[in-house]
Amino acid sequence: MNPSGMSVTTCRACAHGPLSPVLSLGSTPLANRLPNESEPADDEPRYPLDLGYCPSCSLLQIMHTVPPAELFSDYVYFSSFSDSMLAHARALASRVQSERRLGAGDLVIEVASNDGYLLQYYKELGVNVLGIEPALNIARAARERGIPTIAEFFGRELAERLASEGKRASVVHANNVMAHVPDINAFAAGLELILADDGIALIEVPYVREMIERCEFDTIYHEHVFYFSLTALRALFARHELSVVDVERIPLHGGSLLLRVARGTQAVATPRVRAMLEEEERLGMRSYAYYEGFSRRVQALREELRRVLLGFKARGARLAAYGAAAKGSTLLNYAGIGRETLDFVVDRSPHKQGRFMPGVRVPIRAPSALVEEKPDYVLLLTWNFKDEILAQQDAYRRAGGKFIIPVPSVSVV
């Protein structure tokens, strides 16, 4: 099937060109587009998945844009199926509500609010909420749990409309969404418009340092357009009259940044912001040299993983995988691992069960299949939730089953 979209040679944020190539993962299918049995394999669109570096603003980004409507209008990722995500969301809402003294007169907006997994906790605390979620099926699920949700893409146009209606927020959350937005300048401009004068935006993004240093190549897929450093983010926000006033490193999604962003360019930042910027400078994250060895290390990890899996298979072992996540699609397609190696993949989400992994066509089943089928080894595709999943699968492990952790190096537990 012929793909749409466009190749990118200049930086989407600062317009500098050309981008410097960092890594190519080949031509891969859309990571969250899980085909069903009636869809022929040759109908799956494939797109180039190449990573480039901007030598001007140091922003890492993929070099092909897939239209957002193809990625997000119907979506199978529901945040509420991760216990870790829910626990993080509850704790974050409680902490922010207390720190900001939010009440019935305040509004909390979440951009890319998914199924209301976070906003439900603010609502329980008596705070007004509004979700913005472009995936129609997921926005519907959020409304069904009582979370007002606008099913549109967020950008300057929607922000202007909300601001004109008086819907400016005391707090705006944008969790793991900025990486997904090709027109990143319209997104940043929209944040500035919907923030109240004294409002704060709390933004979570995967940290590019973790990806490079831990060889987390499977976090690269077409939905993830950008891979952020604090240096690149500060430059982006400054262009839109916004300031990063605080930053924390958090373990979510293999290592993320939690930023607090305020209106205006003169807002006072905490020492943590200055310290991280200085550390990025010392590490060389503002230069291409920091990224240029990534491709070689990714290729070596791919070969190591294939050697381990094929070795087990040659000895007669039965293999399955856990987690029909986007990162799993990238890993399986790049490594060339399919039904010749894996019997099935399991996932907790009923929205994924009965479908197939993109490209490699491995069937997706419920987690109970691990105990029922008793594969010898399970490749943990959702390694970012390792502790949660290993605890959930205690019965399988006590019966002798073992998990293969693929990142940052291959290990068996």
What does the pLDDT average to over 17-25? 96
What does the pLDDT average to over 207-215? 96
Residue 31 CA to residue 281 CA, distance in Å, equals: 33
Q: Pick the closest to residue 26 from 336, 406, 234, 313 (CA basis).
A: 336
How many helices (DSSP H) and strands (DSSP E) are in the chain?
14, 19
| Number of Cβ atoms within 10 Å of the Cβ of 123 | 18
Q: For residue 358, what is the DSSP state?
A: T
Q: Yes or no: is domain 79-268 CATH 1.10.3720.10?
A: no
Look at residue 117 in the predicted model and tell me its pLDDT: 92
Q: List, in sequence order, the alpha helices (H) in 27-173.
A: 68-72, 83-100, 119-124, 136-144, 156-164
Q: Would the pLDDT of 74 be above 80? A: no
pLDDT tier, 330 (very low <50, low <70, confident <90, very high otherwise): very high
SS3 239: coil
pLDDT tier, 1 (very low <50, low <70, confident <90, very high otherwise): very low
Residues of the chain with CATH 3.40.50.150: 79-268
| Number of Cβ atoms within 10 Å of the Cβ of 17 | 13
What does the pLDDT average to over 38-51? 86
pLDDT tier, 4 (very low <50, low <70, confident <90, very high otherwise): low
Residue 346 CA to residue 369 CA, distance in Å, equals: 7
**Residues 119/108, Cβ–Cβ less than 8 Å:** yes
Q: Would the pLDDT of 43 be above 90? A: no
Q: Would the pLDDT of 232 be above 50? A: yes
Burial of residue 311, with CB atoms counted within 10 A of its CB: 0-12 exposed, 13-18 middle, 19 or more buried: exposed
Residue 14 CA to residue 78 CA, distance in Å, equals: 33
What does the pLDDT average to over 35-43? 81
Least confident of 41-45, 113-117, 147-151, 183-187: 41-45
Look at residue 2 in the predicted model and tell me its pLDDT: 45
Q: Which amino acid is at 348?
A: R
**Residues 19/46, Cβ–Cβ less than 8 Å:** no
pLDDT tier, 189 (very low <50, low <70, confident <90, very high otherwise): very high
**Quick one: what percent of the chain has pLDDT higher than 70?**
95
Residue 77 CA to residue 115 CA, distance in Å, equals: 9
Look at residue 83 in the predicted model and tell me its pLDDT: 78
Q: For residue 361, what is the DSSP state?
A: -
Look at residue 79 in the predicted model and tell me its pLDDT: 58
**Fold topology of 313-412:** Rossmann fold (3.40.50)
Look at residue 91 in the predicted model and tell me its pLDDT: 93
Residues of the chain with CATH 3.40.50.720: 313-412
| Number of Cβ atoms within 10 Å of the Cβ of 154 | 26
Q: Would the pLDDT of 3 be above 90? A: no
User: Strand order in 195-206's β-sheet?
Assistant: 149-150, 128-132, 107-111, 169-175, 195-206, 256-263, 242-250
What does the pLDDT average to over 388-410? 95
What does the pLDDT average to over 334-361? 96
**Quick one: what percent of the chain has pLDDT higher than 90?**
84
Least confident of 80-89, 227-236, 358-367: 80-89
Look at residue 70 in the predicted model and tell me its pLDDT: 74
What does the pLDDT average to over 201-214? 96
Within 13 Å and on the Cβ side, how many CA atoms surround 43?
8
Look at residue 6 in the predicted model and tell me its pLDDT: 83
Q: Pick the closest to residue 291 from 52, 15, 18 (CA basis).
A: 52
Look at residue 111 in the predicted model and tell me its pLDDT: 97
Q: What is the mean pLDDT of the chain?
A: 93
What are the phi and psi torsion angles at 210 (to 5°)? -60, -45
Look at residue 81 in the predicted model and tell me its pLDDT: 58
**Residues 133/111, Cβ–Cβ less than 8 Å:** no
What does the pLDDT average to over 296-312? 97
Q: Pick the closest to residue 172 from 236, 108, 118, 99 (CA basis).
A: 108
User: Strand order in 402-405's β-sheet?
Assistant: 364-365, 345-346, 319-322, 377-380, 402-405, 411-412
Beta partners for residue 365, in sequence order: 346
